[in-house]
Structure 1
Amino acid sequence: MKQAVIFDMDGVLVDTESFYFKRRMKFFDDLKIEPATRKIEDFIGSTNGMIWERLVPDDDEKRNILKEEYSKYCKEHEVCFQEILNPSVKEVIRELKDRNLKIAIASSSERKEILRMVEECGIASCIDFVISGEECVQSKPDPEIYIRAIKALELLETEVLAVEDSALGIRAAKAAGVTVAALEPRDYYIDQSEADCKVNDLIEIISEI
């Protein structure tokens, strides 16, 4: 019997993966610079540092300059989380709370963005624990983020269900000993073969608890 669900944020609770990808490509297009890759699959589940190493792999100085410029660009083109909230999120959270399950978020995104998301989407009061990749020494697929979340929830690994979308996130949760449900993306392909099960809609995780 599961006692908690740990959600990844990007691509699971909110469809930020597509938004962020389009924003990055527009940034490079505006500067008339060609990034090293234009495949969205190359960025799914990655940390900010990993993403920039893929965009500008061989020039540290150029990468740092562009990264700083992009930070300013993002403030002018900020994501509205309410507009890209997964339609099933509130129903799923309500059902989990009715069953007295704990809810956590373990995401590679910055903590301030996770907290902004839960506030904007009106689900902050339902979240028992939040951990960001920037708070961890190691990034996904290392299991650190899940190990720390499980410890904070004061549960056993077998009592937790993780909901992920990326191969890196799935691998991190599995390495921590957690059962993983993978939410299949609609607009691109991700290898989710390491997950215990796949769902097309978040509401389907209820049957896995």
Structure 2
Amino acid sequence: MIKAVLFDNDGVLVDTEWFYNRRRAAYLETKGFVFDEIPDLSGTNDVYVWEYFEPDDPVRREELKQGYLPYMEAHPVPYDELMNRDARPVMEALQERGVKCAIASSGQIEMIQQLVDAAGLEDVLDLKLSAHDCGAFKPDPAVYLRAMELLGVEPEECLVVEDSPFGIEAGVRSGARTLALKPKEGVELDQSAADRVIDSLWDVLEELG
């Protein structure tokens, strides 16, 4: 019996991956980077991202990372345009069936909260959790295992909803049945490790049995 659904944030509840890629590239261009093609780092995490752009110089890497913070504030995510409109009604339907809902993301808790506020999800969520507070990032399953612990559920009682290969691996390694939300047209993600690829969040309800 499914007692909880654990949702990834970016790419599942809000279509931010393409925005992050473009915003990050625009910032790095102000620092002298030149791109023939914008790097697609969808579904990764902060550590991976900054090591990708500056693999050899940790001091420079930290400078780039810290410099990006005010740039992000000056170029906020347009959540109203990018949020998945199915998120709230699906979570409402889950809670009506007694199923707990949580967000478990590699993003910082502040970014998770911004989406929650913009989408009006606060009252349909039982938990919001960032991997930054769990000691490891996806594909490590730490954030999902900690979420299960806090919710008082076992892996076999959970569904994980993801989109990226890192996230899918984390879900599978947690022991939960893992669903992959099909990306929008033009976005290529390897979702072959998921237990099932779904077309929309409404398909989550079919998994309840």
TM-score, normalization: structure 1? 0.93
3-state DSSP of counterpart to 1:137 = coil
Which amino acid letter does the alignment assign opposite residue 206 of structure 2? S
Residue aligning to 2:162: 164
Counterpart CA distance in 1 for 2:118 and 2:138 is 26
Report 1:1-209 matches (<5 A).
1-34=1-34, 38-40=38-40, 43-186=41-184, 187-209=186-208
| CA drift at 1:32 | 3.7
Counterpart CA distance in 1 for 2:148 and 2:52 is 31
Counterpart CA distance in 1 for 2:62 and 2:37 is 17
RMSD: 1.6
Runs of 4+ in 1 over 4 A off after TM superposition: none
Against the structure 1 CA distance between its residues 93 and 172, is the aligned structure 2 distance closer, same or farther, given a 3 Å change threshold?
same
Contact 1:35 1:56 (8 Å CA) reproduced: no
**Deviations along 1:136-187, whole A, 9 cap, x unmatched?**
1121111111111111111111110000011111111111110001011113
Identity, in percent, stands at 36
Contact 1:11 1:165 (8 Å CA) reproduced: yes
| CA drift at 1:122 | 0.6
Against the structure 1 CA distance between its residues 153 and 28, is the aligned structure 2 distance closer, same or farther, given a 3 Å change threshold?
same
Counterpart CA distance in 1 for 2:57 and 2:134 is 26
| CA drift at 1:60 | 2.1
| CA drift at 1:47 | 1.6
Aligned residues: 207
Contact 1:103 1:128 (8 Å CA) reproduced: yes
3-state DSSP of counterpart to 2:76 = coil
Counterpart CA distance in 1 for 2:35 and 2:79 is 26
Which amino acid letter does the alignment assign opposite residue 10 of structure 1? D
| CA drift at 1:35 | 6.1
TM-score, normalization: structure 2? 0.93
| CA drift at 1:200 | 1.6
Unaligned 5+ segments in structure 1 are none
| CA drift at 1:68 | 1.7
Which amino acid letter does the alignment assign opposite residue 61 of structure 1? V
Against the structure 1 CA distance between its residues 114 and 199, is the aligned structure 2 distance closer, same or farther, given a 3 Å change threshold?
same
Counterpart CA distance in 2 for 1:208 and 1:36 is 42
Which amino acid letter does the alignment assign opposite residue 207 of structure 2? E
Counterpart CA distance in 2 for 1:47 and 1:5 is 22
3-state DSSP of counterpart to 1:130 = strand
Which amino acid letter does the alignment assign opposite residue 51 of structure 2? E
